[in-house]
Structure 1
Amino acid sequence: MSFDGLFTRAMCKELSSSLKGGRINKVHQPYKNEIILVIRANGKNHKLLLSAHPNHARVQITKEEYENPAEAPMFCMLLRKHLEGYALEEISQPNLERILIFTVKGRNEIGDISYKQLIVEIMGRHSNIILVDQDKQIILDSVKHVSAAVNTYRTVLPGHPYIFPPQQHKASPFEADENDLLQRLDFNSGKLDKQIVTQYAGVSPLLAKEITYRAGLVNRNTLPDAFLAIIKRIEAYDYEPAIMENNTKESYYLFPLESVSQKAKCFPTLSEMLDRFFFGKAERDRVKQQANDIERLIINEKEKNEKKILKLEETLKESQEASKFQLYGELLTANLYAVNKGMSEIEVVNYYDEEGSTIIIPLNPLKTPSENAQNLFTKYQKAKNSLEIIQEQIEKAKNEVHYFEGLLQQIETASPKDVEEIRQELIEEGYLRKKQKRQSKKSHTTKPTLDHYYSSDGTEVIVGKNNKQNDYLTNKLAARDDIWLHTKDIPGSHVVIRSKEPSEQTILEAAILASYNSKARHSSSVPVDYTKVRYVKKPSGAKPGFVIYENQQTVYVTPDEEIVLKLKQSK
């Protein structure tokens, strides 16, 4: 993993320089495994994110906005009791482990000086955040409880003594020299990157591969030089935090890793890099879990309508024989004199054919000639009526498919709050049953929360991320002469520029936002239509989020996450 022991050491120094001596003013727990501490230090507030997420565990200062639940979880309430108002005395890391200890000092309920430790263990799915009474070394509580049945080495439960994870007894890379390396590594057995990880504390497989990559033709002469050069740089805190992209996969580290990619984007601090790297990633995981049931429902409904369209189109082909029954009826009526009861068919001349060809008309021998003619006209009328109904049903099913495709796209870019709005929409449309809850205070209808951006020249651009937000933005919030944008024939968000005459640059930037918040997020040269809001109409009875528009112009843009981030932070 990228957040190895050496990365943790670097983060410890970065946090100490920014936060040490600061006071914890607020504690929030926006999600199950994540804590936000608002710390006042060096004249400003910092948001310290502590994450025990199984896939995205980390510690950093963040500038991202997090939505807090209406009711704080129990662990959050406990942290508020023990940490709010306390001063951050020290941030430490034991033995290059992926552990950070935040030691805080304050006064307890009876006014005595009290020391607490908030210990963050960054260990993948075993990550945890644990509050410990420093003097007694007793666990007060943790974000994840671990019983003896789960872990025989140590129990992580309130009232139990805090025990560090088992030590691996590895050597410190900062104490290594060429002789030490040559003694510890077996150059004959190969897999030297794995040997480095096994022998030295704080070194991840990612860094070990970089060391062997920089050694080139790995041998007893080249490897020590590569190892010591990198370790000395880390020891001197000589960092250039970077994100490397290899195909579609991204990695991050303290500096660009040549073994991953020759292209790297560098950042001034580790925290800024992590904000950029994890932009949307952890939220995507949370949304996927939260929206799993409705996503499955939407996919099923979409597939059901697609199958329905295929069946209806087959029926449509059969119904298109309506004109044949009309022709049979008219020709039979003209030849009634030649038909006798009991005949099963008759061959007549087709007067509508210039060449005068003949047609064999099937008859019901139990019916009279006039009854046969009437039967053919009845079949014609039924087929004609069913033709209109089937075409209406096909159109309705296609609209349903388009609607569900839009919902799937919205889930891809949704926040947890957006998911709840999508769920509510499905209940209102009759696709989901409303869960019965105990009666509580009457909830007031709240306005949808929209995403606000600012173009290069400071013009406000607003984005709706689901149908409820889109309807509110376009039909209620936007002024008639504001500029409205949407990807052309592609499911996506409604975007509004709050200006009557925006600059060309603003239109292009808003179009990038529209393309980024659409099904074409990973495409290039995406067509985006724009027009005045006055030309956008919602047909009567249309599905949520559906509109028609006219007088549009089209621009072609390529979605760019860097530009989206810049527009989000530009004001």
Structure 2
Amino acid sequence: MNLNASDIARAASELNMILENALVNKIKKGYKNEVVFEFYQKGIHYHLVFGFNPDLGSLHFADKKDLLFFEPNPQLMLLRKYFNRRVLKEIRILPDDRILLFIFNQNWSIAFHLFPRGSNLIILNEKNEVEGSFASLKEKTYLTPRDAFIKPVFSPLSDAPLVIEKNSEIYQKEIKTMMRNYLIKKQTSVLKTRLKSLKNKIKNIEKDYHNCLKADDFFQYASIIMAFHAQDKKRGLSKLESKDFEGNPVLIPLNPEKSIIENAEIYFKKSKKLKKALPILEEKVLETHEKIEFLENQLEKIQNLDFEKLKESLYEETDSKIKKILKHKLLIYENDKGFRFIVGKNSDENDLIYKLARGKDYWLHNRDYPGSHVLIWVEKTLPDLKTIQTAAALALLHSKSRKNKEGFVMVTQRKFLSKTKGMAKGQVTVSRYKSLWAKITEDFTENLKRL
């Protein structure tokens, strides 16, 4: 569906009715070239998605559950710097054009060029000067900061669909397809790596298996030498011409550094060793082929899953890690907000916490004294300050400064931890952290439940 200036004007009017005087609560990086503004208005959160993908310029509302969020880039940080916690005053459309102007308090604004191809989002300061832009990759429409904003001239509109309605089927289908492809890639990357490893492994196992089939040949070489050359103690021969027990000529390879009898002993040992290994390798070959077949079936199954099933499988993967933690009987608490705190009681458990934690999980440790590693297991939302303070109190409680009942605690995320070869169990290197002053109060465990 192509939208002209009058269509966009009606959409701007509708947006004004919904978002007038709404507060910008959060600004997040969406899928690929998308920016998600979370507006708060009269107790309701609205997620407005600005899409400036090269082939699909768009502006639409979306449910949070249908969105994927990614690490912010420098351009997004610029948006956060200028527009976070600002109030949206008005949305205008430039006369006879497809440019929406979002005007915030203190006269800062965002100009959104809503074109099928070559969409752009431009940050304008109170003097109507450009502070930054988010041009589509296929269009050279980036603007230099501090330039005066001039209404751009674009080529004639193409027939590509342009979507702005809340429930547009075209756009939702496109976005869900992109998100589904992303989830499939995320789910299959580990399986593909494992599958590649198993295929390399089966090659080596089959090579060893074929070597084991030579056990009878080695036994025959040893028997011929002992039967016909038992008294021969020559050295320096690389091969021995002889006959088998049926009178057929046989050429036996020899190690020139060993005597003929010593070569016979080596062949006997090799034959015995390979015969023992043969049934073990047969079992390994079958087992590895079964694993390969299972992984290939899993990959095929994931390719056929719909969007909702893919999201569920991601949560199941998270649950399996939690089950692994519970299996090791770690000290685990849960607060009234559903956050789980995992505490390592010794160096082995601290090491296990390091291995099981994911990049977004929060890690805490007494800054100045030895003690336990404490992990906040992060699911959908990041922990608030009270949750972090509870975890910090646990870190103090399970350290050698517990009698002081207060002190500094290191707070960081798992992605800022590393471990080099040779480091003792439980030891990690912290590349970035913040110090938090924490206290052990008498009532801090009241909202905690031991799992």
TM-score (norm 1): 0.41
With a CA cutoff of 8 Å and minimum separation of 6, indicate the structure with the bigger relative contact order.
Answer: 2
TM-score (norm 2): 0.50
